Structure 1
Amino acid sequence: MSAFARSFLKKSLLAASTLLLGMPALAEEAASASLSNPFICRRPSGAAGTITEFPLPTEESSPTSITVGPDLNLWFTQTGTGTIGRMTRDGAVTEFPLPTEYSIPQKITPGFDGNLWFTQLGVNQVGRITPKGVVTEFPLPSAGSSPYGIAAGLDGNLWFTQVTGNRIGRITPAGVVTEFPLPTPEAQPTAIALGAGGKLWFTEVRGNKVGAIATDGTLTEYTVPTANAGPSSITLGWDGAMWFTEQFAGKIGRIGADGTITEYALPDANSGPVDITVGPDGALWFVELRGNRVGRITVSGALTEYDVPTAGSQPAGIVFAPPGFLCVDPHLWFTERGSNQLGRIRAVTVP
């Protein structure tokens, strides 16, 4: 692992430990505080659930997946324009066109090599973009595999799902690809995330299962109790369990290391929860594509929902805000695919 990657990992683990131990590391707002200064945590007063929206410069760009890069900026895919977007801490947006047209970039994630990696659903490729915007594309060996979800593994490689290929893929930083077929036919694997113990956990939207793959390729699958639930997104919770969305059932699921699954029904069964992430408050936060809401669920299952101000915004992706150094931002950011905006929601109330 490079020195850059070790530094980034240290900051990530430090931020995680800060959250688990509480929030006292957040600095009070000072007159000299600046969003571009990573050593000062801004903490303006405000109520939890407050949403602010930021229009993107290019019409019909359809922002979809969003993450935090090694440079601590927000990075997101724009499926409508075939570009990767970056928003800095001061709100400046830059868009990077991809070399291959109609590539339909989907999920994006930071790698331990100091770059960001993304899938290109429309052209059967995995892409890499440096923090400076240099793009490299890697064609996959199996035609028509439809790469979708992607996550960094502790082995230093990137792991991704192949929706129509029915495989889990692994790509090294040098671009060498290995593929692992799934036991369940036509499972349609979608999201993938790093879990406790170093396994990669993934969802099977048609197979109605949650799976786990070790870095040696060993696969395990677990059936979701609700039939045709459409498990779609998955993330590691602060409690050490994996949490996932059930897009077609309108539920949030939790799966422990032993495979035990617990489901929590949302008030609106047709809300379409499609993405989920951890928040700075110890809870899980998710977006409802059809419900036009951002939701919050505690590890004990208590639910809260917040309406997105713009009607029909189709919130599609969500991520915990970029941290500063030795501090945590009290917000999450999400994409609004239908309204061509990024949204920001406050997770904690500050008097």
Structure 2
Amino acid sequence: MKKRTKGILAFAFLGGIMVTSGVTIAIPGLDPGENTPEITITGTPADNFPDADRPRFCGSGNAKSTDFVTEYSIPTECTNPLAIVTDYDGNVWFTQTNTGKLAKFDPNTETFTEYDNPTWPKNGRSMMWGIDYAPDGSVWFTDETFDSVWKFSTFDEKYDRLGYPSEGDSLPQRLQVDGSKIIINDFTGNKITFLDPNQSSEDVNYLSIPSPVDDSVTADFAVDAENNVWFTNWLFQQGGILVKFNQNGYFDSVANSNEQLLPLLDFIEIYQLPVQLLTPNGAVVSDDGKIWLADTTSSSFFSFDPITEEFTQYSTADPLLSTYGNQTGVIKSPISRPYWIDTDNQGRIIFNEQNANNISVFDPKSQSLVAYHVPSKNPYWGDCDPGTGMMLADCGLAQIFDFTVHGEQIWFTEWVENNIGVVDTSIPLPLELQLGSETLSLSSGEVEHVTALVYPKTTASIGASVILAPTHDFIKTVLTHDSTETFQLNSNGSQTIHFDIIATDGAVSGTYKILVGVQTSDVAIGKFITVTIE
């Protein structure tokens, strides 16, 4: 019962069962045979699911592609790919929830290799959220069902299982190889764990640092240039804190004392999260030392400046209607659910929008945001049924739960479509956006008129819709001067978008970001206006 509860909790906390704001889909937990109707034995991992559930978990169609995204179907049926990483040669490694295997994809030959795990229990399933590639050629990954950390040698192709300290209700989640240590966050076990990767599986010693907030979850972490570990503690739908842990100071003090553990409060700093930030799952440190957090219960991501100790909120565009369908009409406020977050070698911030079926790239220097839409969608994860039993075409979610950055490519997994895919960010975008104003100041009750110019960069005619996305209700955006929400952009002309930005009466003073952009079927391109309310 404990293992099944863990699986359900992870989905609930992380947004896995939630399609959009106000709508949930009941799904089996990690024991899909709970109400087993008919099961047709196929000799594939699909046998872990009743026939009726296979379209939902095993995939709904063939791999698809756009100008920016290429997908590849995993040869084995119904593997549920999850955590993903690339090695130094560009090979792609990923875990499989439904088989317990590690798999490799060679982009040069476009071939998959799946490595049998001889110690994996028959019909065993596990959400394996964390993965990293070590300099010695080994791949490390977590396993929540069996409270394990696994090491796979890419040279002798052998697995080693290391038991994870599972006091209470542990859930080893994200994992990072950091020099001579491996760092793991224990999502429900409320701790950060350090592991020496040179230990044998017979003699494993962990050092676990308890998190400051009792009965909270300990989410993703990031290591800054000074080796501080940043992570969040939060209570479901109640907010939480950002924690800075001075691991150098801590381990140096432990080495110079006779104590195995020292008081944690002597080595941490705590920052209260803003009230708008409820579920900070992903965390990363950018080159300038800022901490970036992805909020899975909204359409926002945040930066934190350790110098000024200030948070800045950024909003994504709303999900496309095709991702959630809304055939029943009950979805009033669709949200994109940013999930994990990372950086690339250009200093850009990368994150996946789980409910928008997007991989997004934010450039802090230009304050621009590009969201690449992933074409595969599973209709069983959206409100895609008009009540006749017929699923709408091009509707639903692929459940893009993880991604990894390699140069200008972003590789990702599709958990319910049995695909992996890649975004090529080097491909030129089809249009360019220029803002008439990038910064402006308003007083409460004041209105400012702003324009945005859209230029085509291709000879094809492009159907587009306008994106206007403020972060707070007391900032309004309204199209004016006969500007329409949708338009056609032709190669021989440009489009001017006119809109007003309104600071309503009682608007709270501060600095805010408004996303202004254009959405096509394959990509959304936007820039942020910085608005100061005095």
TM range (shorter): 0.7 to 0.9
Q: Which amino acid aligns with 2:241?
A: K
- What's the counterpart of residue 222 of structure 2? 193
- What's the counterpart of residue 294 of structure 1? 359
2-side partners of 1:80 and 1:289: how far apart? 20
1:197 is paired with a residue of what secondary structure?
coil
- What's the counterpart of residue 342 of structure 1? 420
Cα distance per residue 1:203-245 (max 9 Å; x no partner): 3353533323232263333232134520011223233322221
1:60 counterpart = 2:60:
no
Q: Which amino acid aligns with 1:122?
A: T
2-side partners of 1:292 and 1:331: how far apart? 17
- How far off is 1:171 after superposition? 0.6
1-side partners of 2:362 and 2:411: how far apart? 16
Cα distance per residue 1:27-82 (max 9 Å; x no partner): xxxxxxxxxxxxxxxxxxxxx97111111122221212211225542111222222
- What's the counterpart of residue 13 of structure 1? none
Q: Which amino acid aligns with 1:339?
A: E
1-side partners of 2:241 and 2:305: how far apart? 14
Any residues of structure 2 matched to 1:168-247 within 5 Å, and which? 168-173=192-197, 174=199, 175-206=204-235, 208-215=240-247, 216=250, 218-227=267-276, 229-247=278-296
- How far off is 1:195 after superposition? 2.0
- How far off is 1:152 after superposition? 2.0
2-side partners of 1:112 and 1:204: how far apart? 30
- What's the counterpart of residue 402 of structure 2? 317
Cα distance per residue 1:298-347 (max 9 Å; x no partner): 115432222211122111112112xxxxxxx4321111112111111111
1:93 counterpart = 2:112:
yes
Q: 1:76 to 1:209 in 2, by over 3 A?
A: farther
2-side partners of 1:50 and 1:172: how far apart? 40
2-side partners of 1:63 and 1:204: how far apart? 27
Cα distance per residue 1:60-109 (max 9 Å; x no partner): 21212211225542111222222222112322211224424334322101
- How far off is 1:188 after superposition? 1.1
- How far off is 1:165 after superposition? 1.2
2-side partners of 1:107 and 1:77: how far apart? 9
2-side partners of 1:162 and 1:78: how far apart? 20
By relative contact order (CA 8 Å, sep 6+), the higher-ranking structure is 1
Aligned residue among 171, 174, 180 for 1:146: 171
Q: 1:71 to 1:129 in 2, by over 3 A?
A: farther
Aligned residue among 292, 303, 309 for 1:254: 303
| 8 Å contact kept, 1:235–1:243 | yes
Cα distance per residue 1:146-192 (max 9 Å; x no partner): 100111223x1101011121111111011421111111112211222
2:306 is paired with a residue of what secondary structure?
coil
- What's the counterpart of residue 308 of structure 1? 374
Q: Which amino acid aligns with 2:372?
A: Y
| 8 Å contact kept, 1:203–1:210 | yes
1-side partners of 2:337 and 2:94: how far apart? 21
| 8 Å contact kept, 1:153–1:198 | no
Q: Which amino acid aligns with 1:115?
A: S
Structure 1 stretches lacking a partner, 5+ long: 1-47, 322-328
2:226 is paired with a residue of what secondary structure?
helix
Structure 2 stretches lacking a partner, 5+ long: 1-65, 252-266, 319-333, 378-396, 430-534
- How far off is 1:246 after superposition? 0.7
- What's the counterpart of residue 132 of structure 2? 109
Q: 1:247 to 1:257 in 2, by over 3 A?
A: same
2-side partners of 1:228 and 1:238: how far apart? 23
- How far off is 1:126 after superposition? 1.2
- What's the counterpart of residue 120 of structure 1? 143
Q: 1:110 to 1:205 in 2, by over 3 A?
A: farther
- How far off is 1:251 after superposition? 0.9
Q: Which amino acid aligns with 1:262?
A: T
| 8 Å contact kept, 1:278–1:319 | no
| 8 Å contact kept, 2:242–2:273 | yes
1:161 counterpart = 2:191:
no
More deviation, 109-118/125-134: 109-118
- How far off is 1:125 after superposition? 1.3
Larger Rg: 2
1:290 is paired with a residue of what secondary structure?
helix
| 8 Å contact kept, 1:292–1:308 | yes
Q: Which amino acid aligns with 1:344?
A: V
Q: Which amino acid aligns with 1:304?
A: V
1:149 is paired with a residue of what secondary structure?
strand
- What's the counterpart of residue 330 of structure 1? 408
Identity across matched positions, percent: 24
